[in-house]
Amino acid sequence: MVRIGMLTSGGDCQSLNATMRGVAKALYRLYDDIQIIGFEDGYKGLMYSDYRIMEPRDFSGILTEGGTILGTSRQPFKLMTEPDENGLDKVELMKQTYKKLKLECLVVLGGNGSQKTANLLSEEGLNVIGLPKTIDNDLWGTDMTFGFQSAMNIATNAIDCIHTTAASHGRVFIIEVMGHKVGWLTLQAGIAGGADVILIPEIPYDIKKVAEAVKRRNKVGKRFTIIAVAEGAISKEDAALSKKELKKKQEKKTYPSVSYEIAAKLEELTGIETRVTIPGHMQRGGGPCAYDRVLSSRLGTRAAQMVYNGEYGNLVVIRNNEITKIPLKETAGKLKTVNPKDSMVEEAKLLGITFGD
Amino acid sequence: MVRIGMLTSGGDCQSLNATMRGVAKALYRLYDDIQIIGFEDGYKGLMYSDYRIMEPRDFSGILTEGGTILGTSRQPFKLMTEPDENGLDKVELMKQTYKKLKLECLVVLGGNGSQKTANLLSEEGLNVIGLPKTIDNDLWGTDMTFGFQSAMNIATNAIDCIHTTAASHGRVFIIEVMGHKVGWLTLQAGIAGGADVILIPEIPYDIKKVAEAVKRRNKVGKRFTIIAVAEGAISKEDAALSKKELKKKQEKKTYPSVSYEIAAKLEELTGIETRVTIPGHMQRGGGPCAYDRVLSSRLGTRAAQMVYNGEYGNLVVIRNNEITKIPLKETAGKLKTVNPKDSMVEEAKLLGITFGD
Amino acid sequence: MVRIGMLTSGGDCQSLNATMRGVAKALYRLYDDIQIIGFEDGYKGLMYSDYRIMEPRDFSGILTEGGTILGTSRQPFKLMTEPDENGLDKVELMKQTYKKLKLECLVVLGGNGSQKTANLLSEEGLNVIGLPKTIDNDLWGTDMTFGFQSAMNIATNAIDCIHTTAASHGRVFIIEVMGHKVGWLTLQAGIAGGADVILIPEIPYDIKKVAEAVKRRNKVGKRFTIIAVAEGAISKEDAALSKKELKKKQEKKTYPSVSYEIAAKLEELTGIETRVTIPGHMQRGGGPCAYDRVLSSRLGTRAAQMVYNGEYGNLVVIRNNEITKIPLKETAGKLKTVNPKDSMVEEAKLLGITFGD
Amino acid sequence: MVRIGMLTSGGDCQSLNATMRGVAKALYRLYDDIQIIGFEDGYKGLMYSDYRIMEPRDFSGILTEGGTILGTSRQPFKLMTEPDENGLDKVELMKQTYKKLKLECLVVLGGNGSQKTANLLSEEGLNVIGLPKTIDNDLWGTDMTFGFQSAMNIATNAIDCIHTTAASHGRVFIIEVMGHKVGWLTLQAGIAGGADVILIPEIPYDIKKVAEAVKRRNKVGKRFTIIAVAEGAISKEDAALSKKELKKKQEKKTYPSVSYEIAAKLEELTGIETRVTIPGHMQRGGGPCAYDRVLSSRLGTRAAQMVYNGEYGNLVVIRNNEITKIPLKETAGKLKTVNPKDSMVEEAKLLGITFGD
């Protein structure tokens, strides 16, 4: 009997279950005698031998379910090298569980940090295969991550809803979209939702230019302005600060998020009422969209095949519409950010969207 | 030729266009020669003769459209008795426009405040018919207002999305639902979304009881708690203050909304990470749901019939599934709030929902 | 220990699970020591002692789930009085199971036929409480059944989708809506979707009048016509036949459903291309809408309370927005059909909708 | 002043307006003085000089609207070379309008047939730029067409709805998905919806193998089977016939579509009740999904840039996530079909999906 471990790690997102279903269905088909071990709450389950023996029926009916049937937890990579609360070496604990259970391979569904840990385990000699999960689409080496399109649908729907109400009154509306470091979600939801202004971490903004865009619209009779703001949007002023100075400055802030601060400044500069909407964790929730279910099914079945072929130490990715692989050591820890000169930014500007740069 | 004026007043909501379409389609059918005048941006358009002559095609294809094709503005009733910025009497201005245009009747789509003004105009001798618009369902005299069910769908969907992400991690989630004075939307979205705690203005809460509910859930292995909070939720402590004291206290607050304050207190009391989601104006946006479109079509066509029959001075309402009417002077200004002993509250408690009372 | 049986019977619909959850949550709250028995696949499970002992966790997370966790089967009332395939008396079999399990009460979620059987069991001395399930909203004695609003959303969405494509080309589109005997779903989805023609069983149509409506629209430049047709729509000609004659005629028909026949005739009479869309069982599927979840939660908790109070032999209903009860013997078998003079039909006609009468 | 013509041709789909908006917004930005001419109902408008002068406001608010503001008509390529009803040469007529209006370029949103005509016009010396519209994703040379993902969402949602009802009863359900010649939509919606069987034109099926799959599922306790069938699904038997023989056979058929025939045969072979759902034109309807809006915005703005750069005679495409171009003469008329050995088919088989081959 071959035994495969599986875990979901980091922030949850929409297509985790669909991906695991893909892996499992293909494994049961490829192997005559296979057992899948599901670790609870991410790497924690692997550390402390907290697991379930999965049955085929566990993967039935979960294609459309949000969240993860295994649970997840955030385990930042940098904490992996620190001892746990009992002074034990975390990586050693995970290796012990792996060996004790005589796993053939560990399948890790996770984002950037989680794949870094996956790579570490791979370098320590474990057989590991990674699957690219994140609503941020910021994993280097894959064209798309599962979760992204589902999150984009929700963020776009938020902008759509705001559009009709904004058009009825004469106001500025800010929709805060998830993304602390990377702006793909805000950029694409902003384009899809017909936002007038898009502010993302990679393109620091000048609040005066944003205010001018609002005023310019009002001058030509457009009564409202829709602004899509990434959680990590940053002003040119702040972007110029050192990390230390920035941290100091942020500690003094009284606003619970960047949107409230931008709203206050815009009201001051334009005199126009500005409202804030924060869909927040909604963007990670609900079931996966059709696109994600196809992507997850494809990535999942190919992951199973890579297990079968012994192609370990890889992240399963989609590149130019084909499912392929990339060594974990090449991708782990590399962030795929928006290049301000990216063609999609250029296209957005052709639509008349302001980035405040 | 008969000429009818129409306006939408107050905060926008989802089924305004569907209602106007119903009124218009029936008017064009009932009268051989009729002209509909659409006033821009609510009562302001009536004051300053800012209007459009509507054509049948203007009402075509708007059944599913959010917002209002006429625009709207908030005109609090108490400001109606004050002179405008040029020192002119607002009610007098509106009467002048009405007379100048030789209107047979004015149809007002609006909530509580707007219907109070409608009643004032009625008492001043104008022919007025009101239609009950609001996502709050707080108009006295009607079982349902249009907008409510659409808003409920959106608030419920927000809770649904949060549910899957909450279940994957171990957290408390607060979803802030619209409603400064009235809790119907929070109560029903809370029930529909399977919230564990519901906090509404009519039932002041004890934060300790809320914290206990969270801890009780954790004790029996439920890793998360979903809390639906109305914008106007109030603690027992604050509810005991005089209006003046409360205002003073609120002025000192640094949180942009009640949810952030509750979140901070809950984290303190339970030690569990607590996140806030604010769908905000999304709840007024997007197209009307099927229920609202039926309700609006029914209310709208009956409003036209009341115009035709000269049944002026009334609000068109739904009572026991029949469309009927109630004199504006009986309903105007009366709020339909949640009675803490209401059967729906009792039913929610039977489901195990905590109100913190 | 008190033991309660529960079953879902007849065609499935969207809010069965939400209703059972309401019953169960309230039962667990009202009783210190209670056991819920779930019978599989409707009355069949009761006949043949095919059941599961339910746990509180079985009712967790099912509020939003479509279908029924207990399974269901159609058991037409008239078959109940016939012996089963082994020659045994079905009612006697059910009574035996009830007694063997020492049930305090049987809770039946079902439509018209199922409630008739429920009444029969009640008359045979069992304690029975019924809950009004059906997408047809045709149970006499309740203003609304759970399932109806969810089905209406889906049928309306189908019409919405067809609208944009119909408007781009110049065509007639028929959307076939569920309802063999009763037209509520077609009527309301038709109004909500902005249909131009609505054909329902209760109002036999003259195909020539429908064709005229299509041609009249074309004459005034409207390029398309949307027709909502109930499965049981019937022409005046056929409505005039005796049951026997009608059956004979129908046996000869080559069309798989009424829509294809109407389409063929309309193409002949108008010369305009006519397309058919059949959402079919989609209308029973997917999760319940927010409205249904509230309704189901309310009906379910009140059913539990009626069990607790021993108010047996009743159907739990909603009347004038309050949850109340009606004796099974008064309601069982009575159909709530659309009266051609119903106010909603009149309102639809004021919107300009043609019924072909 | 530069003058650009634009038209939408062939079957409508969801993101036509979003694409035109992208073209227009970018044209207005790139040129100081530009006029956009919108031809009505596809090539017909170009033939008979049936057009509107578009204004910037015409493109405002249409990002989310289904259908096409210009209207469309099917103009099969082979009819283009035949004279019109007045005996006039169609291509000549189009060239005359182009010249009379002194167009700089003609932008054509259309599918395979429409791009063939676009290429013809290009070869005749007109400046033409094509944009890849179709829910079938069957245009050779582009990774994705706009419309496909929106249609996939709708088809997937249909399967989702059927899933819950199918699971409650014990039945076989057939969902007929659009696609007469190409199976991409059925394949991907089938994967996304968790179908058990997928039948597409490119992989002729053996009905006995399909029946076996149904029976195999029943044997292991799965009470239902979901079958996604493309409109153009074909049996091995029929696929072996000559075109002439096949046509003859089809003329004799009494079923309005392939699904009813498959259903009848399956019932015969398995004895299990089989139901048919036909979402039909719903799949072309409603607003575009977020993915399509981004794709359309990108393709549209790049089309404008190609106009600006004089890069005529090209189809704007997406390849490996970048917007690029391909000469119309290389792509026109080439169909991108599903290769039975395509990796996505293989992945579907790994999921356990039966193709009946």
Give residue-wise pLDDT tens across range D17-44.
Answer: 999 999 999 999 999 999 999 999 999 9
Q: What is the pLDDT of residues C92-143, one digit of tens each?
A: 999 999 999 999 999 999 999 999 999 999 999 999 999 999 999 999 999 9
Q: What is the pLDDT of residues A258-272, one digit of tens each?
A: 999 999 999 999 999
In sequence order, the β-bridge partners of residue B175 are B228, B277
The dihedral of CA D201, D203, D207, D210: what is its sign? Answer: negative
Q: Binning pLDDT at 50, 70 and 90, where does residue B254 land?
A: confident
Size of interface C-D (CB pairs under 8 A): 128
* C344 token code pair: 């909603």
Distance CA B304, CA C344 (A): 15
CB A212 within 8 A of CB D314: no
**Do C234 and C171 fall within a single domain?**
yes
**What is the reported pLDDT for D152?**
98
**What is the reported pLDDT for C251?**
84
A142 pLDDT higher than 90: yes
Sheet containing D225-230: give its strands across.
D197-199, D225-230, D172-177, D274-277
Closest by Cβ to A164, choosing from B67, B173, B277? B67
Q: Best of A150, A297, A354 to disrupt the D interface by mutation (most D CBs within 10 Å)?
A: A297
> Is residue B50 in some structural domain?
yes
DSSP state letters, C217-232: HHHTT---EEEEEETT
Query: How many structural domains compose chain D?
Result: 2
CB B26 within 8 A of CB B307: no
Which residues, 6 or more positions from C239, have their beta carbon under 8 angstroms from its beta carbon? C204
- In the chain, the amino acid numbered A46 is L
Q: Does C22 touch chain B (CB under 8 A)?
A: yes
> Is residue B240 in some structural domain?
yes
Contacts of A191 in chain D (CB under 8 A): 293-294, 297-298
**What is the reported pLDDT for A250?**
84
Contacts of C34 in chain B (CB under 8 A): none
**Do D138 and D247 fall within a single domain?**
no
Contact B289 C153 (CB under 8 A): yes
C164 pLDDT higher than 90: no
What are the C-alpha distances in Å from B127 to residues B27, B95, B119? 16, 11, 10
**What is the reported pLDDT for B192?**
98
Active site residues of A: 136
A170 pLDDT higher than 80: no
Contacts of D22 in chain A (CB under 8 A): 350-351
Nearest CA in chain C to D64: C164
Helices (H), chain C: 16-30, 43-47, 77-80, 90-100, 112-123, 148-168, 184-193, 207-219, 236-239, 243-251, 258-270, 290-309, 328-331, 343-350
Q: Residue A162 in 3-state DSSP?
A: helix
B18 pLDDT higher than 80: yes
**Do B197 and B345 fall within a single domain?**
yes
> Is residue D357 in some structural domain?
no
Q: How high does pLDDT run on average in chain B?
A: 95
For chain B positions 63-102, those within 8 Å of chain C (CB to CB) are: 63-64
CB C133 within 8 A of CB C261: no
Q: Best of B135, B301, B316, B341 to disrupt the C interface by mutation (most C CBs within 10 Å)?
A: B301
Let me know how long chain D is: 357
Residue at token pair 């907008």: B147
CA dihedral angle for residue A297, residue A301, residue A306, residue A308, rounded to 10 degrees? 160
**What is the reported pLDDT for D147?**
98
Burial of B244 (0-12, 13-18, 19+ CB in 10 A): exposed
**Do A219 and A303 fall within a single domain?**
no
Contact B276 A275 (CB under 8 A): no
A166 pLDDT higher than 90: no
Q: What is the pLDDT of residues D187-226, one digit of tens each?
A: 999 999 999 999 999 999 999 999 999 999 999 888 899 9
B341 pLDDT higher than 90: yes
**Do D168 and D100 fall within a single domain?**
no
Contacts of C279 in chain D (CB under 8 A): 158, 277, 279, 282
Q: Binning pLDDT at 50, 70 and 90, where does residue D75 land?
A: confident
Q: Report residue B180 CA to chain centroid gap.
A: 10
**Do D7 and D127 fall within a single domain?**
yes
**What is the reported pLDDT for A13?**
93
User: What is the average per-residue pLDDT within A182-208?
Assistant: 98
Nearest CA in chain A to B158: A282
Distance CA A95, CA A83 (A): 14
- The CATH number for A82's domain is 3.40.50.450
Contact B280 A285 (CB under 8 A): no
Distance from CA of D246 to the nearest CA of A (A): 34
C75 pLDDT higher than 90: no
A79 pLDDT higher than 90: no
**Do B279 and B290 fall within a single domain?**
no
Chains with ≥3 CB–CB distances under 8 Å to D: A, C
> Is residue B108 in some structural domain?
yes
What percent of chain A lies above the pLDDT cut of 90? 90
> Is residue B356 in some structural domain?
no
Q: How high does pLDDT run on average in chain D?
A: 95
Which residues, 6 or more positions from B294, have their beta carbon under 8 angstroms from its beta carbon? C152, C188, C191, C192
Q: Binning pLDDT at 50, 70 and 90, where does residue C155 land?
A: very high
**What is the reported pLDDT for C34?**
97
Q: What is the pLDDT of residues B119-134, one digit of tens each?
A: 999 999 999 999 999 9
A168 pLDDT higher than 80: no
D165 pLDDT higher than 90: no
Let me know how long chain B is: 357
Q: Which conformational region is residue D185 in: left (phi greater than 0), alpha (psi within -120 to 50 degrees), or beta? A: alpha
Contact B286 A66 (CB under 8 A): no
Contacts of A348 in chain D (CB under 8 A): 297
CB D130 within 8 A of CB D312: no
In sequence order, the β-bridge partners of residue B230 are B177
**Do B128 and B156 fall within a single domain?**
no
CB B3 within 8 A of CB B34: yes
- In the chain, the amino acid numbered A92 is E
The bridge status of strand C172-177 relative to strand A225-230 is: unpaired
The bridge status of strand C322-327 relative to strand C314-319 is: antiparallel
> Is residue B317 in some structural domain?
yes
**What is the reported pLDDT for C148?**
98
CB B251 within 8 A of CB B303: no
Rg (CA), chain C: 22
Q: What is the pLDDT of residues B225-241, one digit of tens each?
A: 999 999 999 999 999 99
**What is the reported pLDDT for C274?**
94
In sequence order, the β-bridge partners of residue A176 are A229
Distance from CA of B303 to the nearest CA of A (A): 23
Q: Which domain holds residue B178?
A: 149-284+340-350
Q: Binning pLDDT at 50, 70 and 90, where does residue D242 land?
A: very high
Residue at token pair 């599961």: C52
Distance from CA of D87 to the nearest CA of A (A): 43
Q: Please list, residue by residue across D263-295, b when 16 or more beta carbons sit within 10 angstroms of its beta carbon and e when fewer do.
A: bebbeebbebebbbbbbbbbbbbbbbbbbbbbb
* φ, ψ at A147 (rounded to 5°): 110, -35
**What is the reported pLDDT for D199?**
98
Contact C149 B291 (CB under 8 A): yes
Contact C165 D281 (CB under 8 A): yes
For the beta carbon of residue B87, count every other beta carbon within 10 angstroms. Answer: 6
What are the C-alpha distances in Å from A312 to residues A30, A325, B297? 17, 10, 62
**Do B134 and B30 fall within a single domain?**
yes
Show the CA angle centred on residue D31, arms to residues D28 and D37, nearest 5°.
60
Residue (of C15, C283, C200) closest to B290 by Cα position:
C283
> Is residue C357 in some structural domain?
no
Q: Binning pLDDT at 50, 70 and 90, where does residue D270 land?
A: very high
- In the chain, the amino acid numbered A247 is K
User: What is the average per-residue pLDDT within D81-89?
Assistant: 91
- The CATH number for B231's domain is 3.40.50.460
User: Pick the residue with more confidence: C166 or D6?
Assistant: D6
Strands of D278-333, DSSP E: 314-319, 322-327
Contacts of A160 in chain B (CB under 8 A): 285-286
**Do C155 and C184 fall within a single domain?**
yes
CB D21 within 8 A of CB D304: no
**What is the reported pLDDT for A167?**
80
Q: What is the pLDDT of residues D87-134, one digit of tens each?
A: 999 999 999 999 999 999 999 999 999 999 999 999 999 999 999 999
> Is residue D356 in some structural domain?
no
Distance CA D85, CA A212 (A): 56
**What is the reported pLDDT for C170?**
77
The upper half-sphere exposure of residue B303, i.e. CA atoms within 13 Å in the direction of its Cβ, equals 34
Full-prediction pTM beyond 0.80?
yes
**What is the reported pLDDT for B74?**
84
Q: Binning pLDDT at 50, 70 and 90, where does residue D250 land?
A: confident
Distance CA A143, CA A141 (A): 7
What percent of chain C lies above the pLDDT cut of 70? 100
User: What is the average per-residue pLDDT within B160-188?
Assistant: 92
Distance from CA of C182 to the nearest CA of B (A): 18
Contact C280 D285 (CB under 8 A): no
**Do D127 and D30 fall within a single domain?**
yes
Distance from CA of C260 to the nearest CA of B (A): 26
**Do B155 and B291 fall within a single domain?**
no
Distance CA D43, CA D74 (A): 9
